[in-house]
Amino acid sequence: MITAYVALGGNEGDRLGYLERAMAEISERLTVTALSPLYETQPVGFIKQGWFLNAVVAIETDLSPGGLLAILQVVEQKLGKATPFPNGPRTIDLDILLYGGEIVDQVNLIVPHPRLHEREFVMRPLADLDGNAIVPTQGKTVCQLLCELGCTSEVRPWLGASNVFPNHVAL
């Protein structure tokens, strides 16, 4: 079994509701072992949009990286993901951040996520789950990279709804 880390985020509509629905869908299809606290985060790139809710989930899987991606894309489609332009608003976004210690470079999938080490909004919740995980393309731990990154954007713990996904892993 491989431990994969998947980022969840969204800023359209009922942000918490979409994350809860995504977690329910993921939990029905995959073995979830941990879920980070929720963070409310400032948009990156296109800033004239609402703030995001972000989290990271740990999954144990025997699927290939492509198989995991296929499941995540089904969940995104089921929840109506539509991104009108790059870095634009969306109901849900699911990205594979790490897949064990593997490096994957395919046409439709790059793991570790190519901008992982530049984005505090995924590095902070990932560090909450496993700060000692190695990002193989960088040769450093998540905590080392987060320290090097510093505070590049507004990322704050989200205190709504007791920071718990009902019927899933408590945060």
Class of domain 2-115+156-163: alpha beta
| CA angle at 138 for the pair 109 and 154, rounded to the nearest 5° | 80
pTM of the model: 0.90
- Tell me the per-residue pLDDT of 24-51, one tens digit each, with 9 for 90 and over: 999 999 999 999 999 998 887 777 888 9
**Residue extents of the structural domains in the chain:** 2-115+156-163
d(CA 120, CA 22): 22
Q: Where are the beta strands (DSSP E) in 93-136?
A: 93-99, 104-106, 109-111, 134-135
| CA angle at 124 for the pair 86 and 57, rounded to the nearest 5° | 80
Would the pLDDT of 169 be above 50? no
Q: What is the DSSP letter of 34?
A: E
Lowest mean pLDDT among 40-44, 48-52, 70-74, 158-162: 158-162
pLDDT: which is higher, 59 or 159: 59
| CA angle at 119 for the pair 62 and 57, rounded to the nearest 5° | 30
- Tell me the per-residue pLDDT of 99-117, one tens digit each, with 9 for 90 and over: 999 999 998 999 998 889 9
Residue 139 CB burial class (10 angstroms; 0-12, 13-18, ≥19): exposed
Q: pLDDT-based confidence at 154, cuts 50/70/90?
A: confident
Q: Where are the alpha helices (DSSP H) in the chain?
A: 15-29, 65-78, 120-130, 142-149
Percent of the chain at pLDDT > 70 equals 88
Q: What are phi and psi of 28, to 5 degrees?
A: -70, -25
Which residue, chain included where needed, has tokens 């299809």? Answer: 29
**pLDDT of amino acid 42:** 84
